[in-house]
Structure 1
Amino acid sequence: MTHDQTRSASVVALLADIPSTGHLGGSQAQRFTLDGHDLAEQSGAFVDYARYHAAGGVRVVALYPRWRAERARRAVAFARGAMREDTVAAVGVDLSPLALSLIADQLAYLCPYLPAGIIAGLADELPRHTLAGGWLRNVANLATIPISVPQHLGSFAPGVTYLALCSPVPQVTRVAKGETASVSQLPFRPQEPVQVLHSSGANFDTAAFEEQFLPSLQAVAARRLPAQPLGPLYWGSPKYVEFVAFSAHPRALTEPARAVRPTRCTWCGEPTVWAVCRFCGAANSVPAQNPRTGGRPSAPAPAPGPQHSAPPAAPAGSGQPPSAPPAQPRPAAPAPPAPTPGSSPQPTAPRRPHPPEPVEEDDIPVPQALPPLPEGPGAAPPGASPPTAAAPPAADPTESAPSAFRLQTAPELGARPLSPLPPASGGGDARPHSGPADDRAPGRPADPGPRDPGPPDDGTGDPRWAQGVSAPRAPK
């Protein structure tokens, strides 16, 4: 493998009390248990290790378990602050102790051949090509892998066994007593030939694991290792068997390295597969990563649903009035509307997955088409039956209204003079008469000009005035 630019050298350090499996011989990651009473005692050895390699231009990829990350993160921050350089990358891995030990040794084996940024990115890619988990009798205290309430309650029943997987996907399944697990029940199986490493807790019988689970992997070799010190902490119980199955093919480590698609960091220039560089922390735009190659094929994607088309317009002779559909929120997967009786269903074309189609106007509900308007005032709408008899002429709305609310025409208003108001000094009682008609039409504004009071009237000349009623006096 050749590179246009100079490849950066790197080393791998594992910040946890996880011994090596010894499967790769001398290619092992440097271990730091981080034991001590204070930060200087816990991180002193790692800081000296990072300072020594940074002086020679070598970057350090520090792996640590995410379920025990406090001391590891403090040690990395202490080392970066002491050296004031971005040559140390902290990479958290959510794996069991035995699987993390193998992944760390594999990364140490690839360090002489790949840049430091690719080594850090393979910490997430290599677990996707391995099958790691545990054989447990109790999952009530398992906090590193999600479990359900029935699985938690089933742990208190006698004779129950669970298969808990942490890679490539975390899951917990129940295994029936005496039943051999099949390959179809596993989410992934490594490429042939398969090798298995396993270890168990203290005083735990591994006969059921070797009889029910190992035959399903069809491994060419199975090796038993001493128990990991952090095994009971990860599995939540001292009664467990943890395992890791991987491929022993010569190109087993080449395919994961080709699966990642890195981009060069805009700040430190190191290849990175994350949006944030693990060395300098700069933000980058990384391409989409390729799906995992090998193993069992994934299930095909569901076919897209039919497109939502507009409802058909009502025919002209159906006699049904057009109506617009109510405005409703569009569902996630809309179903095609039922066709109108008498209309043929229209086929819909399936959507293309790539590239995504934009939202078209056909996907939005539209109102139905309206019939043509009648040409004449007396013409009937299309589809309506002709009248059998001539309808009587409509009455004039001005004649059918009560007399008190009829509107007077302009000649009547101009020919009829306005009646003067009674004098303020009149002794007789008079009040306005509420007759059928008023001096002006309702809603017509009053004349702002002055009025001529005219000669005094006693109320006998105008029928609108009645005797015996006192009229209001005008203010002086």
Structure 2
Amino acid sequence: MPTAIAVTSRELVLPPPDGQTPPAVVFQGPDGQSLDAALAETAALLDQQGYLVVLYPAASPAPLVQRLHTVRSVLESDRIALLPMELPPLAVAVLARQMRQLSVSDFSPGVLACSARLLAHYIHAGALLGSVARLDRVPVGLTSHVKSWVPGAQFGVLAHPTPQIVKADGETRLPGPGYATHLVVARGHTHGQPGGRGGQGDWVTALARDWRVRGVQEAALPAESARWWGTGKLTEFAAAIPDLSMLYQLVASVRREECRWCGFELIGDRCAFCSAPVPRGDGSLAPPAGRPALTSR
């Protein structure tokens, strides 16, 4: 049966790259939908699609996360995978689009859900910020904090895969991917001007050139981005592999296991549906890891 990919806001739904990529399901929080309506909608979706994989930023508001777990618990469904991602909002949107692309392939629901952690490793996500004074999701040194109070200061921040902060002075750049990517850019407000053009646009253009991206796409800034980055004066960006054949090859090259708890096929060190860890060769359980332990077939 097919697997539906869901996100937790409409801003996390990026346009499909082709006519085959299915749309994403949008889960609403308690403020936008009653629990009864959420239960009925999810039950109908499972009847149609079979399985549901929900991607959301790990830093999402507690009421939203609680709603997701409540729906899964009340429906008593083992066909719903809830995947909190340690990524900025725009990167979650990019990852969700990759998952939507892969959902039309022949991967089982367990392998597809587990592939989120693998694919996330290959996403370079960051932002150009007007201040890092309230940035608490990336380590910020005292010097950067002090400089953030200087009028006109800007900072290039890489949140994933390796956190780094540089002064956006036109010369210093952030380390980029060593493989072909497309760059998605979402502009907020800079110094009261919507869109963040001018200096920000020049810096992002230079970044795309340094990273040798094969295309740049403009997107709407997710509503959660300002809270995640600690400022509304930002341009968020995420570079990721766009080619479906390469994404498929990445996932297919990983050794598959069977979850000893729920029986789902999986890759990596734990099941995406029940979170059970995979036993290691010595009989112990694999420890939690931010990066999947990959083993080629």
State the Cα deviation string for residues 145-182 of structure 1 (Å, max 9, x = none). Answer: 2222222222112343211112222332233x23263x
Can you give the 5+ residue segments of structure 2 that lack an aligned partner in the other structure?
A: 282-291
SS in structure 2 at match of 1:67: coil
Match of 2:233 in 1: 239
Residue 239 of structure 1 and its aligned partner are, at CA, apart by 0.8
Contact 1:16/1:65 (CA < 8 Å) preserved in 2? no
Asked if 1:216 is matched to 2:203, the reply is: no
Match of 1:137 in 2: 130
Asked if 1:289 is matched to 2:289, the reply is: no
Match of 2:108 in 1: 115
Contact 1:262/1:286 (CA < 8 Å) preserved in 2? no
Residue 91 of structure 1 and its aligned partner are, at CA, apart by 0.6
Contact 2:114/2:272 (CA < 8 Å) preserved in 1? no
Asked if 1:151 is matched to 2:144, the reply is: yes
What letter is aligned with 1:191?
Answer: Y
What letter is aligned with 1:242?
Answer: E
State the Cα deviation string for residues 9-50 of structure 1 (Å, max 9, x = none). Answer: 32111124534220435523211231428xxx4544442233
Greater strand percent: which structure?
Answer: 2
Match of 1:79 among 71, 79, 100: 71
Match of 1:229 in 2: 223
Identity of aligned residues (%): 21
Residue 129 of structure 1 and its aligned partner are, at CA, apart by 1.6
Match of 2:157 among 164, 182, 186: 164
State the Cα deviation string for residues 266-294 of structure 1 (Å, max 9, x = none). Answer: 132102345553323545316772289xx
Structure 1 residues 45 and 168 mapped into 2: Cα distance closer, same or farther (>3 Å)? farther
Greater helix percent: which structure?
Answer: 2
CA separation in 1, counterparts of 2:12 and 2:234? 18
Match of 1:98 among 65, 90, 105: 90
Asked if 1:36 is matched to 2:31, the reply is: yes
Contact 1:65/1:95 (CA < 8 Å) preserved in 2? yes
Match of 1:66 in 2: 58
Match of 1:191 in 2: 179
Stretch deviating more after TM superposition (232-241 or 17-26): 17-26
Contact 1:195/1:219 (CA < 8 Å) preserved in 2? yes
* Structure with max Cα Rg: 1
State the Cα deviation string for residues 324-353 of structure 1 (Å, max 9, x = none). Answer: xxxxxxxxxxxxxxxxxxxxxxxxxxxxxx
Contact 1:198/1:241 (CA < 8 Å) preserved in 2? yes
Structure 1 residues 172 and 253 mapped into 2: Cα distance closer, same or farther (>3 Å)? same
Structure 1 residues 284 and 49 mapped into 2: Cα distance closer, same or farther (>3 Å)? farther
CA separation in 2, counterparts of 1:58 and 1:218? 40
Structure 1 residues 191 and 46 mapped into 2: Cα distance closer, same or farther (>3 Å)? farther
Stretch deviating more after TM superposition (268-277 or 108-117): 268-277
After TM superposition, list the pairs within 5 Å mapping 1:419-434 onto structure 2. none
Residue 115 of structure 1 and its aligned partner are, at CA, apart by 1.2
What letter is aligned with 2:134?
Answer: N
Residue 75 of structure 1 and its aligned partner are, at CA, apart by 2.2
Structure 1 residues 282 and 110 mapped into 2: Cα distance closer, same or farther (>3 Å)? same
Match of 1:179 in 2: 171
CA separation in 2, counterparts of 1:233 and 1:258? 36
Match of 1:201 in 2: 188
Query: Taking CA–CA contacts closer than 8 Å with sequence separation of 6 or more, which of the two structures ends up with the larger relative contact order?
Result: 2
Query: Taking structure 2 as the reference length, what is the TM-score of the superposition?
Result: 0.81
Match of 1:415 in 2: none
Query: Taking structure 1 as the reference length, what is the TM-score of the superposition?
Result: 0.53
SS in structure 1 at match of 2:252: helix
SS in structure 1 at match of 2:59: helix
State the Cα deviation string for residues 376-420 of structure 1 (Å, max 9, x = none). Answer: xxxxxxxxxxxxxxxxxxxxxxxxxxxxxxxxxxxxxxxxxxxxx
After TM superposition, list the pairs within 5 Å mapping 1:74-473 onto structure 2. 74-113=66-105, 114-175=107-168, 177-179=169-171, 181=173, 185-186=174-175, 188-192=176-180, 194-202=181-189, 203-204=193-194, 205-212=196-203, 213-249=207-243, 251-273=245-267, 275-285=269-279, 289-290=293-294
Structure 1 residues 266 and 168 mapped into 2: Cα distance closer, same or farther (>3 Å)? same
